[in-house]
Amino acid sequence: MAIFLDTGNIEEIKKYHKMGIIRGVTTNPTILLKDGVTGGMAAVKAHTIEMAKLIAPLPLSVEVTSNDKEEMIVQAKEMAGWAKNINVKITVHGPNGELDNMEVIHELETKHDIRVNVTAMMSAQQCLLAAMAGATYVSIFGGRVNNMGYNVIEEIEKIRDLIDNFGLKAEIIVGSTREVLNIVEWLNAGAHIVTAVPKLIEGMLVHPYTKETVQMFLEDAAKGEKA
């Protein structure tokens, strides 16, 4: 599936979706706030429905805003009902290491047929357990892992081997992408998907030597017309 656009900006989604180079969109409360989505759940709902409709049938990941077990289930069911292509993000555990989230993930996937993107993971072992619980996607934060002094590529390779060897359905998403280099590097390591903000996708596409070459072609074409 390759690249998911990491944004809540409608215009950016339109721009890159028209190019045919993204395979989904991911958001979270921090991204939506940064992109100006305020006004509580009503505003989130309206904005999410617009994004989902724009990219359908490609997947859109949205995140619950609570870590209370019952509230997560209620929110996830509501969000999944906004559009058929919505996946719901649940963090692998709570802010103090609470373990209820794994039960929520398992219940949503097995009892409510809701596709879950388990997020905020930093290791292969976390991803394995999330995949065993039934997650559709397991998201490891590559940039943050690297910032801790570890190379996330080793974790990606471990996760991919475990998922393939045990026949688990989960697809690996690597997020928290910091550099253009990360995108192809992490996909090559075995990630099914890498998330990228718009400026990183632009960085993949635009090359200074390509700009120089195109300019030369145009200048030479103009000279040829005048000759």
Q: Where are the domains of the chain?
A: 2-197
Enumerate residues 6+ apart whose C-beta is below 8 A from 52.
Answer: 60, 82, 83, 85, 86
- State which amino acid sits at residue 170: A
Catalytic one of 53, 69, 89, 111: 89
pLDDT tens digit sequence for 198-224: 999 999 999 999 999 999 999 999 988
Whole-model pTM: value is 0.94
pLDDT at 143: 97
Neighbours of 139 (CB within 10 A): 29
pLDDT tens digit sequence for 138-182: 999 999 999 999 999 999 999 999 999 999 999 999 999 999 999
Task: Determine what percent of the chain is predicted with pLDDT higher than 70.
Answer: 99
3-class secondary-structure state, position 143: helix
pLDDT tens digit sequence for 77-89: 999 999 999 999 9
Looking at domain 2-197, its CATH class is alpha beta
18 is catalytic: no
pLDDT at 1 over 80: no
pLDDT at 37: 85
What is the average pLDDT across 94-122? Answer: 97
pLDDT at 30: 85
From residue 99, how far is each of 83, 130, 140, 141, 215 by CA, in Å? 28, 11, 18, 19, 57
pLDDT at 142: 98
